[in-house]
Amino acid sequence: MAISSDVIRGYNDTIILYVLLNSDSYGYEISKEIRRLTDDKYVIKETTLYSAFTRMERNGYIESFEAEPEAEGTGKRRTYYRITDAGRAYYREKCEEWLLTKDVMAHFILDDPMKQ
Amino acid sequence: MAISSDVIRGYNDTIILYVLLNSDSYGYEISKEIRRLTDDKYVIKETTLYSAFTRMERNGYIESFEAEPEAEGTGKRRTYYRITDAGRAYYREKCEEWLLTKDVMAHFILDDPMKQ
DNA sequence: CATTTTTACCACGTCTGTCGTACTACGTCT
DNA sequence: AGACGTAGTACGACAGACGTGGTAAAAATG
């Protein structure tokens, strides 16, 4: 079963910010990192990713800058993103909210639903 | 902190179906049961609840029937809902999807985000 | 017995995040 | 030359959640 983005709705920003916590990055790389971290269980859609960038930059959670690829011959122009202090704060908030959400959901999920 | 509905988006149906697993019920009672189960941590909005009923009945996950209150003097007319086999199947699917989602999210959440 | 609160439900329109489709364009590999 | 991987963007549709505002009966309160 593939997990739909709609499930994670509202948490794509959090996921992206998590990747940016470790180092500045750009769309394509972030996308690959998410796949790698989740063993391809979650593959963020391109449009979802880039619209998240727009939204988060508008909200002041990230900043963008243009940069050439570090090594020679490894692709074309890229827009890098850097997490801001506001972004870090927002990430922390969303983490707490997630933990709460998990608790709430636990009341409604049967771990072995086949028993029902 | 209140948990945003956007978080649970797509899982309100699952939550409602869970309540209906145990017994037929109606809007107002389901709403109270969700509050009770979560210790008021999650309070479903009325419009969210009733639009979920419409959607789920359309999808064949629940069936409605009119009924008078069982005990005398305990409110007015009610629309009860009953979960169908398709609803039970859908509930099971969403449970599995949730467990997967939890696993995926675990990669992106720091349990003690203040450390960052 | 008049007022307020609780119970119970619904219509309508708006907002927001996700996603489908489609497109540009450069680099690398065969 | 063509396919594939890299890197990004525009535009519009869709669906779920929610705000606003309403009806109406029953129960509780002063």
| Residue A104 · residue B3 · CB < 8 Å | yes
Whole-number Cα distances in Å, B29 to A9, A36, B42, B74: 28, 44, 15, 12
The parts of chain B modelled with pLDDT lower than 70 are 69-75, 113-116
Per-residue pLDDT, A86: 97
pLDDT at B52: 98
pLDDT, position B69? 65
Task: Tell me the torsion sign for CA atoms A88, B10, A2, B2.
Answer: positive
For A47-80, how does the pLDDT look when each residue is reduced to its tens digit (9 = 90+)? 999 999 999 999 999 999 988 665 544 556 799 9
Distance CA B13, CA B87 (A): 10
Question: How close is the nearest chain A Cα to the Cα of B41, in Å?
Answer: 7
> A74 φ, ψ to 5°?
-130, 55
* B50 C-beta less than 7 Å away from strand C: yes
Q: Tell me, what DSSP letter sits at residue A81?
A: E
User: Mind giving me the DSSP string for B65-101?
Assistant: EEE--SSTTS-S-EEEEEE-HHHHHHHHHHHHHHHHH
What pLDDT is attached to residue A73?
47
Weakly modelled stretches of chain A, pLDDT under 50? 72-73
Put simply, the chain B residues between 42 and 71 with a CB less than 8 A from any chain A CB are 42
Which B residues 82-111 touch A at CB under 8 Å? 88, 91-93, 95-105, 107-111
